[in-house]
Homo-oligomer: A and B are copies of this chain.
């Protein structure tokens, strides 16, 4: 419909390599055999054999023991070599800069959270600090094993062009070519992403899932049909400004009764969690999700309240047993979820 892009033989090779790599990653530490890869990918055994050979030569895969025999030669198990490649992930928060290194398996190394004043300090000082931290993070690592850096930022922004729009309350950052600036400073390919969207890439999960980000505002990162959804202007996920109650309080966006405004005005955390639950139930039903991951500062502060309440509201609002099968969880990486997702954005290119 849109991306009528042709593919050539090297695209084909890369695509299949990514498919195999992705399947091996999904298998985790247990490993998978070549036969299983062939069956799951639809490729022939011979093709898998060749692809695995190439990936092994590149150091991305390794053999890890054998499976049990079922009457013949036992399967040779393959696993990812997590530390064959790295990606840097960063989150520019209003008052915190988070930086970390992620390996191929999504493992976090050397996470750091540094207090900053995003609005007051302005881009130069913050980005210099970022570069310094990245330098520390990559000290001693061969540069050709570092795929790049992903930077998550509050929106709105232009993800494709790599530039920021008017970040609320931080005019100095307006129009900044963030991706270019970062590349120039740290010497790595840089990608930028809205914080809530980055969050959804922080861990593997269902092809139809959302990351609900409770920080200063309310945002959502969406993976639908197996693909990250950014929308026409790369600003999808404005979950917080869905009208939930036309009689509700006025929101900073100008409208009345946005989820975010109602949530912020709730008298107790329990009540706020119920409001969130309503919004999440809407989301689940509209997009037919089967997984919702909660993250962000507010969730980290009170994971149990949010988890329990959101589950309750969903059970209440979606009584059909078919719809009950929605996994609601808290992002395992906790306060690093968004930065890890930013790194995941970079790693994602290897996995298709």
Contacts and interface: CB of A to CB of B under 8 A. Distances in A.
A22 B41 contact: no
B3 A226 contact: yes
Interface stretch (A109-117, A121-129, A286-294): A286-294
Given A41-B4, A227-B227, A243-B278, A286 B237 contact: yes
Interface stretch (A12-20, A136-144, A182-190, A334-342): A12-20
A292 B6 CA distance: 28
Interface of A: 1-9, 12, 15-16, 18-20, 22-23, 26, 40-43, 47, 156, 165, 204-208, 220, 222-239, 241-247, 254-255, 278, 281-283, 285-290, 317, 319, 322-323, 351-352
A289 B4 contact: no
A11 to B, nearest CB: 8
Given A6-B43, A7-B12, A206-B232, A226 B289 contact: no
Contact of A286 (B9, B12, B236, B246): B236
B4 A22 contact: yes
Contacts of A242: 242, 282, 285-286
Given A238-B285, A254-B319, A43 B3 contact: no
Contacts of A283: 286
A237 B47 CA distance: 39
Contacts of A42: 5-6
A2 B226 contact: yes
B231 A208 contact: yes
Given A204-B1, A224-B224, A244-B246, A290 B7 contact: no
A3 B229 contact: no
Contacts of A231: 208, 224, 287-289
Number of copies: 2
Closest 10 CB pairs of A and B: A231-B288, A2-B207, A6-B41, A6-B43, A232-B290, A2-B226, A236-B288, A208-B232, A4-B19, A4-B22
Nearest to A319: B254
Contact of A289 (B26, B41, B206, B232): B232
Nearest to A11: B12
Contacts of A207: 1-3, 232
Contacts of A235: 288
B287 A236 contact: yes
30 contacts: A1-B223, A1-B351, A2-B226, A3-B207, A4-B22, A4-B23, A4-B40, A4-B352, A6-B15, A6-B42, A6-B43, A8-B12, A8-B47, A165-B322, A208-B231, A208-B236, A224-B224, A224-B229, A224-B236, A225-B225, A227-B227, A231-B289, A232-B290, A233-B323, A235-B288, A236-B287, A242-B282, A242-B286, A243-B244, A243-B282
